[in-house]
Amino acid sequence: MNYYSLHHKSPNSTFKNAVVQGLAKDRGIYFPETITPLSKDFIENISDYSNREIAYEVIKQFVGDEIPTEKLKEIIDNTVSFDFPLVKVDDNIASLELFHGPTMAFKDVGAKFMAQCLEYFNQGNNEEVTVLVATSGDTGGAVANGFLGAKGVNVVILYPSGKVSDIQEKQLTTLGQNITALEVDGVFDDCQEMVKTAFLDEEIQKTLTSANSINVARWLPQMFYFFFAYKELHKKHKDLIFSVPSGNFGNICAGVMAQKLGLPIKHFVASTNVNDTVPNYLVDGIYKPKPSKATISNAMDVGNPSNFIRIQELFNNDIEALKSAFSSYSFSDDETRETMKKIYNNSGYIADPHGAVGYLGLKRHGLKENEFGVFLETAHPVKFLDVVEETLPVKVEIPEQIKKVINNKKVAIKASSYEDLKAFLMQSPNK
């Protein structure tokens, strides 16, 4: 499988090179040359397959022969080694819980898959790879965990100071080994821009790649969730509507990819907080990125979502075709808190702020008769402990995954500009 840059000014790339480079030289993100739908027989009989078998069938065309079959199956076994349960919260709405992995966020799947691919591609290579990643919250912890101890790979995580939760910060600043955290004086978009700038800086001699959802190996495995949910629901519910809490738009883009592979999803809802670049675009057809605003659903605090260009590509840049399959709505913190209360009062279900925004998207869109809505619960409520316990009359039990890091000492390097990142990369020795 070859990949091309969506800026169309760089040579096409293999899967391996797209993973290792992360971003094309023209600063474009990579996109697969072809998307071949899966067989109708496979889709119709999906209940006969295990999650591991499904994941292999979904991803294999995008990897091609660059990773041997048995190795790819081993990578998948390690990637989807936990549950993805659906929990009903209304008669016609269920939560798809994606937080049962090691860092309790949906990004565990993509981070683990990418880490193993990169480790495989780097075996026997004397030159170490430095993974640069910007995080608005959960990506950092998932990447740190996924790459911890990976041979030949060092990880540098940039996060916005004061704009991630305490637990999120602990997950990305306390592991040590091959993981370094830079605490940036700014917002997520500043972190993301610093990462993109470093890729193009020819003075930096290290091999750099990214573990954000701009990387194909982080992004594509996110298709798995949609197939797993369909497997559980399709015999009872034919018209499925997925509402995805959206920040950088990687998750919902993976959902649209799943649809292009033949998964019969009726409609997508991209649910955002007040960072409403995409909802506004779908109203007036003008794409106007703007600085991100801090909210209680901080993992979605993105003013210029990197993956939206992939979604546009999937619809051949036809906004009307996009609108027929895809809606997007934004919600305030007050609306989010009220919805958390409503969900809890109606069903006893504890939704985190991101899940609540997803639920709101289904309600705003409106479900017709025979339609069934699924919202993605992208992180465990404990990741947003203060917000959840301030909003709901609950005491959230601390899971074992969090107990392991919550009392560890934070270690982070302060950074206020790109020059600080560059200086660190230039002077830091290979570990």
CATH of the domain at 111: 3.40.50.1100
Out of 108-112, 136-140, 263-267, which region has the weakest mean confidence (pLDDT)?
Answer: 136-140
Quick one: pLDDT at residue 126? 73
Angle among Cα 238, 240, 246 to the nearest 5 degrees reads 170
C-alpha distances (whole Å) from 417 to each of 5, 194, 429 are 27, 8, 21
Q: What is the pLDDT of residues 3-19, one digit of tens each?
A: 999 999 999 999 999 99
Q: How confident is the model at residue 277 (pLDDT cuts 50, 70, 90)?
A: very high
Residue 298 has pLDDT above 90, yes or no: no
Quick one: pLDDT at residue 267? 98
Q: How confident is the model at residue 431 (pLDDT cuts 50, 70, 90)?
A: very low
Share of the chain above pLDDT 90, in %: 72
Quick one: pLDDT at residue 38? 98
Task: Report the pLDDT averaged over residues 141-170.
Answer: 88
Total of domains in the chain: 1
Let me know: does 117 contact 217? Beta carbons within 8 Å. yes
Q: What is the pLDDT of residues 165-200, one digit of tens each?
A: 888 899 889 888 899 999 999 988 899 889 889 988
Task: Report the pLDDT averaged over residues 334-344.
Answer: 98
Write out the catalytic residue numbers.
Answer: 107
Write out the two tokens for 269: 């809802």
CA distance 329 to 335: 12
Task: Report the pLDDT averaged over residues 263-283.
Answer: 97
Residue 263 has pLDDT above 60, yes or no: yes
Long-range contacts from 178-181, C-beta under 8 angstroms, 24+ separation: 178/147, 178/148, 178/149, 178/150, 178/153, 178/154, 178/431, 179/144, 179/147, 179/148, 179/155, 180/154, 180/155, 180/156, 180/413, 180/424, 180/428, 181/140, 181/144, 181/156, 181/157, 181/411, 181/412, 181/413
Q: φ and ψ at 146, to 5 degrees?
A: -65, -35
Quick one: pLDDT at residue 355? 97
CA distance 202 to 208: 11
Name which residue leads in pLDDT, 430 or 42: 42
Share of the chain above pLDDT 70, in %: 99
Quick one: pLDDT at residue 210? 82
Residue 164 has pLDDT above 70, yes or no: yes
Quick one: pLDDT at residue 429? 53
Domain with 360 in it = 1-431
Quick one: pLDDT at residue 136? 77
Task: Report the pLDDT averaged over residues 298-320.
Answer: 93
State the average pLDDT for the chain. Answer: 93
Task: Report the pLDDT averaged over residues 52-67.
Answer: 98
Give the alpha-carbon dihedral of 85, 87, 92, 93, to 10 degrees: -80
Q: What is the pLDDT of residues 197-254, one digit of tens each?
A: 998 888 998 888 888 788 999 999 999 999 999 999 999 999 999 999 999 999 999 9
Residue 430 has pLDDT above 60, yes or no: no
Task: Report the pLDDT averaged over residues 106-132.
Answer: 88
